[in-house]
Structure 1
Amino acid sequence: MIGNIISSPVFMKRISVAFAALMLLAAVLAVAASVGETAIPVGTVINTIANHLWDAGHPVDAIDAGIIWNYRLSRAIVAASCGAALAVSGAVLQALLRNSLADPYLLGISAGASTGAVSIVILGLGAGMLSLSLGAFIGAVAAFAFVTLLALQAGRGTGAIILAGIAGSQMFNALTSFIVTKSASAEQARGIMFWLLGNLSGVRWPDVWLALPVALVGLVVCLWHARALDAFTFGRESAASLGVPVRRVYAILIAASAMMTAVMVSIVGSIGFVGLVIPHAARFFVGTRHGLLLPLSALIGALFLVCADVISRVIVPGQVLPIGVITALVGAPAFALILCHGRILR
Structure 2
Amino acid sequence: MDRKKKRVRIFAYTKVNLGDDLFIKILCERYPDITFYLFADKDTKAVFKGCRNLRCYDYLWPRRMLRVLRMLGINNVNDDQLLGKLFKLDAYVYIGGSIFIQGNFWRNALQNRYAQLIEGKPNFVMGCNFGPFESKEYLSSYRRLFQNYTDVCFRDEYSYQLFKEMKNTRHGSDIVFGIAGLPQPEVIKAVGISVINLELPARKEIVQYAKQYDAKMAEIAEVFIRKGYDIYFYSFCKAEGDEEAIERIVELISPTLRKQSFSHYYRGDLDAVLQSLASMEYIIATRFHAMILGMVLKKPTYPIIYDEKMKHVLEDMKFAGNYSLLSEVGDIIPQEMIVDFTENAQDVTRQVADSHKHFTAFEKYINEN
TM-score bucket (shorter structure): under 0.3
Q: TM-score, normalised by structure 1?
A: 0.25
Which structure is richer in relative contact order (CA contacts within 8 A, separation 6 or more)?
1
Which has a greater percent of helix?
A: 1
- Structure having the larger proportion of residues in strand: 2
